[in-house]
């Protein structure tokens, strides 16, 4: 029997931590505390204000298959109605507007036709050969199993054996080539690499497809997207306000000691004692403040992450981009550090910040410097015909924690999942599922269901 009076500490006030609090409340647990290091909630759902309107420095949008985010909306009365309608266009390296998917262009008709055939084939393969690929989390995948909740509003629990799922440890590029559908990368790359999740020659297919399952990708293709008028951060601000115990901001945790069935946390100089701990903050840094054990350290040291930067800039009126632009040719390792996307949020005014997105790390290569990359992006904007007049905000993110192919295939996830509850500690957050707000919230829901609900 689960003791609902147990005192539970949650480290992290991003989507994973706040969702954990919400789902604990729904399961009848009210004796919890959420600690957030920053002075705001939402993590990389960060929506600063400019002249009374909010712009996005992190997450931008959702899709109808974001069922955990919809749970949050229902819990606290947030709606995605009334958010700005998004659209996009494409430019080549010279700044010319192009349409890489235009089937009426004689130069592209054969390629686009074959791409469509491969996308259809890919959807069929995922539904059959790779049945179970899209459940939340990674339990069992390296052993050829699926064990999790389906991507449906009811999130029915499904599990079974499927040896083909071992292929998901392969880099996505290799996975696509193995299945004879290399061209699908040109569809998946837009919502993946351009938004900071790495390159297809390095990232295991499991991550790509947990985030961009087939129905989610088709929503991106059809621009069937959710946005929030007050920004993605407003979802989590409203949830935080609706919780019985909102996150304690500016919480500086300097020590976590786990012994004798208790978790003792030193925060802002005071000592508090808990029965259980849920860590949603980056596990890679857990040892900087906690009594990390050998098995935890051995696994957490294997976590990689992306260096992903955003800049909010203003333009002269005559230089304002009329829409968001993707530069597909810059979404490859050879163009590391170049501008991949710049985003226009509001259609009805040019007096707004526009936001750029770029990567500066590729697995096995040298990390580019922040300042040189920033300059490169500004140079790229000039080439695109939309030079920046002034940069007003910068985001230098610890982004998309993950493990690479060898560690994934060796069972990293099953080993960490087997440690859940050991040391009275539970692991959640981005690395346990995927680094978008819905996957992290969904994992928190399932964690509460697995270990706390009756």
Q: Which domains does the chain have, with CATH numbers?
A: 8-83+228-303+404-451 (3.50.50.60), 102-221 (1.10.405.20), 305-402 (3.30.70.1990)
* Rounded Cα–Cα distance for residues 3 and 6 (Å): 6
Q: What does the pLDDT read at residue 78?
A: 86
* Structural Rg of the chain based on CA atoms: 22
**Cβ atoms within 10 A of the Cβ of 224, count?**
12
* Rounded Cα–Cα distance for residues 404 and 345 (Å): 34
Q: At 1, is the pLDDT very low, low, confident or very high (cuts 50, 70, 90)?
A: low
Q: At what angle do helices 67-76 and 437-451 cross, to 10 degrees?
A: 80
Question: Model-level pTM?
Answer: 0.96
User: DSSP strand E in 69-209: where?
Assistant: 88-91, 97-98, 145-149, 157-161
In this structure, are residues 447 and 20 in contact, taking their beta carbons and an 8 Å threshold? yes
Tokens standing for residue 311: 């800049």
Q: At 453, is the pLDDT very low, low, confident or very high (cuts 50, 70, 90)?
A: confident
pLDDT(57) > 90? yes
Tokens standing for residue 130: 């790779």
Interval 77-99 mean pLDDT: 93
Interval 1-16 mean pLDDT: 93
In this structure, are residues 258 and 268 in contact, taking their beta carbons and an 8 Å threshold? no
For the chain, what is the largest distance between any 2 Cα atoms, rounded to a whole number of angstroms? 72
For tokens 């819990």, the residue is 75
Q: What does the pLDDT read at residue 102?
A: 83
34-52 pLDDT, tens per residue?
A: 999 999 999 999 999 999 9
177-226 pLDDT, tens per residue?
A: 999 999 999 999 999 999 999 999 999 999 999 999 999 999 999 999 99
Tokens standing for residue 325: 């632009």
379-406 pLDDT, tens per residue?
A: 999 999 999 999 999 999 999 999 999 9
414-435 pLDDT, tens per residue?
A: 999 999 999 999 999 999 999 9
In this structure, are residues 185 and 100 in contact, taking their beta carbons and an 8 Å threshold? no
With CA atoms as reference, report the closest residue to 192 among 94, 328, 99, 325.
328
- Write down the H helix ranges in 27-108: 67-76
3-state class (DSSP) for residue 29: coil
Phi, psi of 446 (to 5 degrees): -70, -35
For residue 210, count CB atoms less than 10 angstroms from its CB and return exposed for 0-12, middle for 13-18, buried for 19 or more: buried
Q: What does the pLDDT read at residue 49?
A: 97
User: DSSP strand E in 185-343: where?
Assistant: 253-259, 262-267, 270-274, 276-279, 304-314, 324-326, 341-343
With CA atoms as reference, report the closest residue to 236 among 399, 75, 388, 430.
75
Q: What does the pLDDT read at residue 14?
A: 97
DSSP 204: B
> CB neighbours of 221 closer than 8 A, spacing ≥ 6?
187
Average pLDDT of the residues of the chain: 96
Percent helix, strand, coil in the chain, to 5, is 35, 20, 40
pLDDT(314) > 90? yes
93-108 pLDDT, tens per residue?
A: 999 999 988 878 787 8
3-state class (DSSP) for residue 222: coil
* Rounded Cα–Cα distance for residues 18 and 21 (Å): 5
In this structure, are residues 108 and 100 in contact, taking their beta carbons and an 8 Å threshold? yes
Beta sheet of 270-274, edge-to-edge order = 253-259, 262-267, 270-274
- Write down the H helix ranges in 83-171: 109-127
Host H or E run for residue 208: helix 205-211
Task: Give the up-direction half-sphere exposure of residue 17: CA atoms within 13 A in the CB hemisphere.
Answer: 32
For tokens 């349409």, the residue is 99
């Amino acid at each position: 029997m689960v003791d609902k009076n147990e005192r539970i500490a949650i480290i992290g006030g991003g989507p994973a931590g706040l969702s954990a609090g919400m789902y604990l409340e729904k399961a009848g647990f009210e004796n919890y505390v959420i600690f957030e290091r920053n002075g705001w909630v939402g993590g990389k759902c960060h929506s600063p204000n400019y002249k009374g309107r909010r712009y996005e420095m992190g997450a931008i949008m959702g899709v109808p298959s974001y069922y955990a985010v919809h749970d949050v909306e229902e819990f606290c009365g947030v709606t995605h109605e009334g958010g700005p309608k998004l659209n996009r266009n494409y430019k080549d390296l010279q700044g010319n507007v192009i349409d890489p998917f235009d089937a009426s262009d004689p130069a592209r008709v054969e390629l686009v036709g074959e791409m469509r055939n491969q996308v259809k084939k890919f959807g069929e393969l995922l539904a059959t050969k790779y049945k179970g690929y899209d459940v939340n989390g990674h339990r069992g995948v390296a052993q050829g199993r699926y064990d999790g909740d389906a991507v449906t509003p009811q999130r029915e629990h499904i599990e079974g054996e499927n040896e083909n799922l071992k292929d998901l440890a392969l880099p996505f590029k290799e996975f696509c080539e193995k299945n004879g559908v290399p061209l699908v990368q040109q569809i998946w790359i837009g919502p993946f690499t351009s938004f900071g999740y790495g390159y297809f020659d390095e990232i295991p297919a499991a991550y790509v497809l947990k985030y961009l399952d087939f129905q989610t990708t088709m929503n991106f293709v059809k621009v069937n997207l959710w946005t929030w008028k007050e920004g993605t951060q407003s979802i989590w601000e409203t949830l935080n306000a609706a919780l019985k115990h909102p996150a304690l901001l500016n919480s500086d945790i300097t020590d976590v000691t786990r012994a004798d069935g208790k978790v003792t946390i030193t925060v802002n100089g005071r000592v508090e004692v808990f029965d259980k701990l849920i860590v949603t903050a980056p596990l890679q840094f857990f040892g900087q403040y906690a009594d990390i054990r050998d098995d935890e350290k051995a696994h957490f040291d294997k976590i990689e992450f992306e260096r992903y930067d955003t800049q909010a800039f203003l333009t002269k009126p005559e230089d304002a981009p009329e829409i968001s632009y993707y530069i597909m040719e810059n979404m490859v390792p050879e163009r590391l550090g170049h501008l991949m996307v710049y985003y226009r949020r509001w259609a009805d005014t040019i007096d707004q910040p526009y936001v750029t997105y770029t990567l500066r790390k590729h697995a096995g290569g040298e990390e580019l410097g922040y300042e040189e990359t920033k300059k490169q992006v500004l140079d790229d904007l000039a080439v695109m015909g939309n030079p920046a007049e002034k940069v007003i905000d910068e985001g230098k993110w610890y982004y998309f924690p993950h493990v690479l192919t060898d560690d994934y295939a060796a069972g990293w996830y099953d080993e960490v999942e087997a440690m859940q509850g050991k040391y009275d500690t539970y692991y959640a957050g981005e690395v346990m599922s995927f680094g978008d707000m819905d996957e992290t919230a969904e994992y928190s829901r399932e964690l509460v269901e697995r270990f706390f609900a009756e």
